[in-house]
Chains A and B, each alone.
Chain A
């Protein structure tokens, strides 16, 4: 069992956990947390791939590592947008929920 396999399996479980939480938790903030977990699992897989590509004196393949930095930053921006939507929703309707409490009226 090498390091990369350990973290690869860990990443796989993280993605599964995140997906489960995303589908099952009704609150948007919990869905966002689950999304972040799933995202971290995906990023871990990329880091595993980078580590497996260690060559030429470098500890890991620099291309996937650079992609990871971009992806982490973009994921933060996505979380910030989602949080802003949730906060505005709770200010507007008094609740933060994705289920429609009233039917589609005019």
Chain B
């Protein structure tokens, strides 16, 4: 007989989990119905309500110090579907809400319906797809069922791919198609792994699987398949080929969403699976492979970024490199768990890395968009004059870059510090080399961009278009989030440990 999860009376915080997931989708329905300019208005209302909801959920989590669990339909797993939010989920939901809000402020200028038109394709699609991305990400963070997670992954892909080709040019359509095919193949691999897990253990619930999983060949195969599929969607080297043209070709606000948030969804699933479902199979040896790809991504991505002529492509290749950092934590956690040491700080480091990258990369893409609008191009060699025309924006770009490099007090600095201490504790010094090399390379191209933009403009040059102040402030706000994130480690609570399963006793 399969164990049934105990019936739990949902707390208020847990009930809000359904609101967090369904509110953006309700916004999509409502926006589709009302149409026209109302799509943006509905999006704004949804963002306000959504931020309030996520704050309420965080408060509930902090007050109960336990994971929030909700059984949909009143049916307990394995028969029904459970929603489960622990510290990691709530942190991710918070950062997604903040980035979505900032991107919405920024996008108001680029994606408002022009006066005189009842409904325009670009703005209408953008606002609805923005909400769809948000809803799918929230679902990924709180779903406790691996098949619901598959549906969430497909939702994320359907919302992300058209964002790439939003401007309708041939190259972006091609990039979107390539992204779609990679993402669909990845989901199919993931689904196969999920079915195999059901075939052996008879349940799709993450908590139940965690309690029953054993290291068998089929479990190994399922873990390998699911991880491979998710790596294709996260664009970890060597499955990264689709990312640079897709993220560079999309409009700036869309690139911010794609690079900052969408790829974090599939990464989070890898983390969730490896920490909660597969800790018994996630041996240090298997995790070394993941981190080896990560280290290659860091070196190769940064080297290619240095050679780019266009700013958006540089930022896109920088994303390829930064994704590598996100996978360095896996062998560290596995080794610490194997030696019964505390792996919490390393997980916190990984979380900080994700949050600082999400905010920093979104800020960088939005800054690049403003520079493009002002100069009419984004060639790095000809960035002169942009610092004088857009002081706030270029400062924000540099601050975001500093966070990616890992300068104090940024989130990137604390993240790397925690990961480095994990590496020294488990004597895996080779990952330290990769991190340091990556930091050096990143500082090189951030420096180059800064120097070029500080150069004075040629005489008589005027901006192609004036960008609004609020756009620049949105960019600066996100960059500051990333840059000052290091102070978050001073908070007295260990968020990551709240509700964490699979940790050694």
Contact = CB atoms under 8 A, between A and B. Distances in A.
B452 interface: no
Interface in A24-65: 28, 31-32, 35, 38-39, 42, 45-46, 49, 52-53, 63-64
Nearest to B169: A92
A85 B165 contact: yes
Interface in B198-253: 198-199, 202, 204, 245, 248
Interface residues of B, number: 38
Contacts of B379: 106
A32 B180 CA distance: 10
Contacts of A32: 181
A34 to B, nearest CB: 9
A95 B283 CA distance: 47
A38 B376 CA distance: 45
Contacts of A106: 310, 377, 379
A89 interface: yes
B168 interface: yes
A49 B174 contact: no
A77 to B, nearest CB: 7
B65 interface: no
A50 to B, nearest CB: 9
Given A42-B192, A45-B192, A106-B377, A92 B184 contact: no
A74 interface: yes
A31 B174 contact: no
A6 interface: no
A53 B318 CA distance: 48
A62 to B, nearest CB: 11
A14 B178 CA distance: 22
27 contacts: A15-B192, A22-B185, A35-B181, A35-B188, A42-B188, A45-B192, A45-B195, A45-B196, A46-B195, A63-B79, A63-B204, A71-B150, A71-B191, A74-B154, A78-B157, A78-B158, A81-B158, A85-B161, A85-B180, A89-B170, A89-B177, A92-B170, A93-B170, A98-B174, A98-B177, A100-B245, A104-B313
Given A71-B191, A81-B162, A89-B170, 6 more contacts: A32-B181, A38-B188, A42-B188, A42-B192, A70-B151, A89-B174
